[in-house]
Chain A
Amino acid sequence: MGNNDALAPRSETGVPLWEYQESRENPDLAAIRDRSGLWINGEETEPLTGKWFLTIDPATEGHLSMVAEAGPADVERAVGAARDAAAGWAAMPATERAKSLFRIARLIQERSRELAVLDTLDGGKPIREARDMDLPLVAAHFFYHAGWADKLEYAFLGTEPRPMGVVGQVIPWNFPLLMAAWKVAPALATGNTVVLKPAETTPLSALRLAEIAAEAGLPPGVLNVIPGAGATGAELVGHGGVDKVAFTGSTQVGKEIRRRLAGSGKALTLELGGKGAHVVFEDAPLDQAVEGVVNGIFFNQGQVCCAGSRLLVQESVASEFVDRLRRRLSTLRVGDPLDKNTDIGAINSAAQLQRITELVESGQEEGALIYQPPCELPERGFWFPPTLFTDVSQSHRIAREEIFGPVLSILTFRTPAEAVERANNTPYGLASGVWTSKGSRILWMADRLAAGVVWANTYNKFDPASPFGGVKESGFGREGGRHGLAAYLRGVG
């Protein structure tokens, strides 16, 4: 076989090389315009503030678009438009509301490539994830809620479900379009009108969604999108014309909103931070648990509220498991988010990168051991390599605070009871994962883990029919399923 050996390209040390060639999605598909105005009352409009801010591609720091910044007068206009549209939308036959949602879902499917590229450019996530996770789920949420629109009486038997009225929604930058879908689809299906404020670093796909909704025949004023920073969000949630507020974001801001809304009579749901725990028992399918842990913490660069950012592994398999995990890390491909072979893309913003960097430094200062696989990071843009910490104590900041980055803190435990105690020893309670081949232990753990979601032998599984939300400081209220509908209805108990 000697002559076959020469086929493999080899490095200087004789190791064969097979580098995947770059396979880059076309950025022009996103069709980004130089200026992106507010979307109020069914049309794009200039901001009364006269202010515009720049949104960039975090992978290159390249300019994408100047985006209108909504001020108090714009919030007034948007809430006013939603108010004016509310009665008509609520009174419309539910089957007609359903048709609009079905049309939106179909248009999203047809334009999914464009929308995936748009979120990848604006947010830095790998195109593979935008294409295979975000967009299918976005369409699924609209399809699912379209189906509910004319069946609300059957979802809540013996009640008379009525819409809340005008809903003010504030969403984060980690899943720009998906979070918009999670918020908008149930609100519209239940007959509410919406004013949505996307995150300032990722406003483009929410604005595109508003265009798509108009194209689908949604009446003017039913969905309004007003980009801006924290001040715009504060203005929106505090506006007297808003009946219900739904917020996804940090626990700190969630607490401020709750304080502000106390006594206002507004309904509120909050989906906040997390410090999810993966609990890996000695009888776990180790190779698959490695995949789940990798997916849990490196999905979207770890910028996921339900990220499994703590690994609790049973002492008897800890060193073997960490060894497998390290080797797996070395195969992760970090780089250009538009390359279809990229596993880990860019951090969303300079501010977020700084927060991750600061927390990782604290981990090293507090004595945890850091591991980062060798990988070259691009020179421009915001990047952080996949990172593991071992020798982490429960008291370290990296074990307690939400990092929102590709950083995993590894702790050990000896008994199931200790695993539960450690997993629950956090102010958060959004999601956790259990890895064991023993069915009874999965149920035992699920009963005891204080988390809105417990995944067993898998992680990051989402479905519009399955309610998602937290306990403790991870918030309250559910998105998805029948529970998610209830959050947008009056009179359902």
Chain B
Amino acid sequence: MPPTDEVMVEERVAALSTRSIKREAKMWALRAAISMTDLTTLEGMDTKEKVRQLCHKAIRPDPTDASIPPVAAVCVYPNLVGTAAEVLGATSVRVAAVSTYFPSGQAPLDLKVAETRQVVADGADEVDMVIDRGAFLAGDYVKVFSEVATVREAAGDACLKVILETGELGSYDNVRRASMLAMAAGADFIKTSTGKVSPAATPAVTLVMLESIRDFHRSTGRAVGMKPAGGIGSAKQAIRWLVLLNETLGLEWMTPQRFRFGASSLLNDLLMQIRWLETERYQSPDYFTRA
């Protein structure tokens, strides 16, 4: 595994941030970003009603425009999986559940396994697990690997996203190492952050993870997806991420099967920008529903 040098990573990211995405290319990107969004609510104050509202928003992000695609998934705490599954059941929108004692992951493995089995049984199509950063930082990579592999097993056919919590890993070398561990242990996606730690998804961390995905794909032939999460709130940022994706992994990765945004406020900004491109006018935020 080659080392990573932060100066040039940040330089590359800065250079790509100057890409100028206009008109049809922008319109495509905005709609694609909606279809790649994991609409997320992860708060202690979440209620069933809040989740129902969010699920309806997920299915039909803009009630006035049927051409806007649904989002990829709704991401909730384990308690609310059943509620989300009731609303989303027959639709294309998937139910994602955070698991393994999100966000800290500081729990015995058997509890994490039990939680994972439970969310899948309750109707989760996708499981967002966290790695044990304590074990990782202590150098116990075997523990990190075997936990991911065990949860992979417990998740069955569900799509497994592994959260590295890059804001706690301390270096790009560690980000790359954690990415490789997670992918080797069976992750379907690697994900930057829980959203509970700052910094969350930065472009530089995303680039390092995308390069890890590229290298893993080259050596094993297995295509792993990427999910930046936390801190991506504007359409402009989302486009910046899609440029990183496009120029690192290429077009094959530009689908919801291989790329997701973990976000909550992003969706309405995407909708507002689409409306702006269509009408050349900014609309009041009051015209967009808040779930």
Contact = CB atoms under 8 A, between A and B. Distances in A.
Interface stretch (A7-15, A218-226, A248-256, A464-472): A7-15
Contacts, number: 100
Interface residues on B, range: 35 or more
B211 interface: yes
B25 A21 contact: yes
A4 B8 contact: no
Contact of A1 (B4, B211, B257): B257
B7 A18 contact: no
Interface stretch (B27-35, B139-147, B193-201, B230-238): B27-35
Given A1-B257, A4-B72, A7-B31, A458 B247 contact: no
Contact of B35 (A7, A20, A285, A331): A7
Contact of B11 (A9, A15, A289, A291): A291
B52 interface: no
Interface string B18-31: 11111111101101
A3 interface: yes
Contacts of A341: 19-20
A20 B21 contact: yes
A287 interface: yes
Contacts of A283: 3
B284 to A, nearest CB: 27
**Most chain A beta carbons < 10 A, residue from B3, B8, B23, B26:** B8
Contact of B72 (A1, A285, A331, A437): A1
A17 interface: yes
B7 A457 contact: yes
A2 interface: yes
A132 B17 CA distance: 12
A292 interface: yes
A285 B2 contact: yes
B47 interface: no
A5 interface: yes
Tell me the interface secondary structure of chain A in the complex: loop
Contacts of A5: 255
A16 interface: yes
B22 A21 contact: yes
A386 to B, nearest CB: 15
B12 interface: yes
B105 interface: no
Contacts of A437: 3, 5
A478 interface: no
7 contacts: A4-B69, A8-B251, A20-B21, A20-B25, A21-B26, A287-B2, A288-B12
Given A1-B92, A1-B256, A7-B69, 20 more contacts: A1-B94, A1-B257, A3-B69, A4-B255, A5-B255, A8-B28, A8-B254, A16-B252, A18-B32, A18-B242, A18-B251, A20-B19, A21-B21, A21-B22, A283-B3, A284-B2, A288-B5, A289-B8, A340-B19, A341-B19
Q: Report the 9 A-B pairs with minimum CB-CB distance, sorted nearest first.
A: A288-B8, A23-B20, A285-B5, A286-B2, A4-B35, A340-B20, A21-B25, A288-B5, A21-B22
